[in-house]
Amino acid sequence: MLEFIIGALSPLNLLLALLGVAAGTIIGSIPGLTATMAVAVLVPLTFTMSADSALILMGAIYTGAIYGGAYAAILLNTPGTPSAIATTFDGYPMAKRGDGDLAVSVACISSVIGGLVGALALLFLAPPLAEAALAFGPVEYFWLAVFGLSLIAALSTGDFLKGVIGACFGLLLAMIGISETSAEVRFTFGSNVLLGGVETVSALIGLYCIPVLIDLVATPDRHLKAPEQTRGFRLPEAFGLLLKNKINVMRSSVIGTMVGALPGAGGSIAGLVAYSEARRTNKGKPPYGEGNPGGIIATESANNATVGGGFIPTLVLGIPGTPPDAVILGALLVQGVRTGPSLFADGANIVYTFIFGLLLATVLMLPVGLMIGRFAYGAIVRAPKAALVPIVAFMTVIGTFAIRNSLSDIAIMIVLGIVGWVAGKRGFSVSPIVLGLILGRIAEQGFVQSWTIGDAIGNLWGQFFGRPLSMAIIALTLLTFFYPFLPRLKQLVSKSTVTPADERERASKPAILRDLLGLLIAGGIALLALQQSAGLNPEAAVFPRTIAMAMAVVVGLALLRLVATRHVTEFAVEGSWIRMTALPLVMLGAVFLFPVLGFGPTAVLLGLVLTVVAQHDRFSLKNWAILLLSVTAVIVACTLLFSEVLSVPLP
């Protein structure tokens, strides 16, 4: 082992680990550039390296990109990568109250701990964990997705029924395009644009980032509360929080390692499951979802633990544990390395040098992540809105385009952003929609495969509920789902006369009519999905039909509750309507101008127009010139970076 440690600490490998972590962190922090993309675009650099050095570089890029997604999640309420979805739940509220620097430090330390646990599991427990992963069949993956969806009860911002409706809508969004189980075209309404489905990361950017941008331009308030004095990295506070949440961080790291070892699961599911468990056991203040550091600790330790966990089936079985592992596996095949059970014996020098290199890269992530995070926090807090809005909008556009080189994805992203903003104001939280979108395909594949097997053997009930592992996941799901309702159940048992907060006053007639319209639109979507499912074959229709029927039932319950209680969950719309509507319209207009003017001129024009839209204060001519030149310079530099360095073709 000493020989392998020395090999990992060679000057070349040390430099590769450092550069890989830095590059991955920067790429992962940009919304739309996922860990998979970060690894894929830099894979050609490894073809001339030795196998162990190539693995160290790709592992460092991977782990850095997973952590980098936390920056945008905390500071912009937009997951930089899908793995950071749950980081937004508490990270952004912390940043809004002025603790963004502490949130970034907590995320960095949690990521390092989770990464170390995952890498150590890869070092000591790879073969048994790989065998355990094989025990998961289609039905277990289905129930695992349902387990993730059980977070709806916790993420519905006070309105559970609207949360369920949002989750059903997200599940239906995930089914647009060609069915992965039967290859049949669904819900495209004759449009070729929708044949490829709704790209998940593009939808995440739209649902999370566009509402933030709309609110940014609508009011003159600063994006984040600036600290009164420079507080550095706040490491003593961060380590104190980690010590206070020591059980949380270790439990979440173990969850991340185990979920990462499941082929195809990935960091998004790991983060959601860990967040769910952390929230269920939390007894402190503030509550999860309102800026509790425990939510960041759970998510970031879990999603970084999936890096080491995902390498377990990749190296032991030759089955990629996560999407980035599939890219790395392909790079290994180019190197002539054959993964499998014999790799740990025949290629011990490659495997163990890589594992120690991964441990090294994880440790290096602490100083690198803190420094980059401190810079990002300072830049976003101090940046004027007139500069922040066009640059962030440009990043969302170019990040979305880079995924599939599709202008249609940009339009879909903006439209979903508008839907997310309107839904959020009506009390339909965006997070359940995102949960449904992320978990929809996994749930459908597991459901359809299990349904087909159960129907073939004549034991449909036993297929879904007759396996011990499935029963364990179902028990955890029920526990997680009903836990948020325990206070009300205790209240009913004790026959308390205290009226719940959401029933103390009745809404005005206009508010009731607005809520009624929103619920009727949701019901119309459910009925449309049922009508569209009627002409599909059984395999393609069974899951969307089930979800559409469930959505229609929940909409009916919500309508009955509205009539009975006349209570409405909605959030006030503040600011200028002209600015609100201008931002998405300008972005949509840019989509149509890209083929006409070219990407560069249109991007600059987009930046200049949004600079004017976002500017609330009176500026001198000199300040206007400096601001417009700065925004133009940043957009031009980023355009050149994406087109030349990352090899992303621009129209």
Note the pLDDT tens digit of each residue in 376-402: 887 787 777 778 888 888 888 888 887
Q: Identify the pLDDT of residue 503.
A: 44
Count the domains in the chain: 2
Let me know: does 189 contact 207? Beta carbons within 8 Å.
Answer: no
Q: Tell whether the model's pLDDT for residue 648 goes beyond 60.
A: no
Decide if 542 is inside a domain. Answer: no
Q: Is the pLDDT of residue 604 over 90?
A: no
Does any domain span residue 68? yes
pLDDT at position 228 is 60
pLDDT at 500: 44
> In the prediction, which pLDDT does 485 show?
66
Q: The tokens of 155 are what? A: 């993420």
pLDDT at 28 over 90: no
pLDDT at 527: 93
Q: What is the pLDDT of residue 601?
A: 84
Of the candidates 398, 420, 435, which is a domain's last residue?
435
Asked if residue 517 is part of any domain, the answer here is no
Q: How confident is the model over 65-74, as pLDDT tens digits?
A: 889 888 888 9
Residue 201 located in a structural domain: yes
Average pLDDT of the residues of the chain: 81
Dihedral, 615, 621, 623, 629 alpha carbons, nearest 10: 90
Radius of gyration for the chain, computed over Cα atoms and rounded to the nearest angstrom: 24
In-domain check, residue 564: no
The answer to whether 85 and 332 are in contact (CB under 8 A) is no
In a domain, 470, yes or no: no
- What's the CA gap between 120 and 115, in Å, rounded? 9
Let me know if residue 501 belongs to a domain: no
| Domain final residue pick, 435, 450, 475 | 435
Q: Residues, the chain, total?
A: 651
What is the pLDDT, as a whole number, of residue 599? 79
pLDDT tens digits, one per residue of 510-550: 888 888 888 899 999 999 999 888 888 878 888 888 899 99
pTM beyond cutoff 0.75: yes
Distances (CA, A) of 371 to 71, 229, 242, 333, 438: 12, 18, 19, 35, 31
Name which residue leads in pLDDT, 519 or 645: 519
Question: How many whole angstroms separate alpha carbon 104 and alpha carbon 259?
Answer: 24
| 175 located within any domain | yes
Q: Give yes or no for residue 491 having a pLDDT over 80.
A: no
Candidate ranges 126-130, 325-329, 601-605; pick with highest mean pLDDT: 601-605
Give the best-scoring range by mean pLDDT among 53-57, 225-229, 535-539.
Answer: 53-57
Average pLDDT estimate for 264-270: 75
- Weakest-pLDDT range from 5-19, 131-145, 150-164, 629-643: 150-164
Q: Which of 399, 417, 435 is the last residue of a domain?
A: 435
For residue 229, the model assigns a pLDDT of: 60
pLDDT at 520: 92
Host domain of residue 376: 2-224+233-382+429-435
Query: What are 31-43's pLDDT values in tens digits?
Result: 767 777 778 777 7
The predicted pLDDT at position 511 comes to 83
Long-range contacts of 46-51 (CB under 8 A, 24+ apart): 46/331, 46/335, 47/331, 47/334, 47/335, 49/16, 51/332, 51/335, 51/336, 51/337, 51/347, 51/350
pLDDT at position 158, please?
59
pLDDT the model gives residue 424: 86
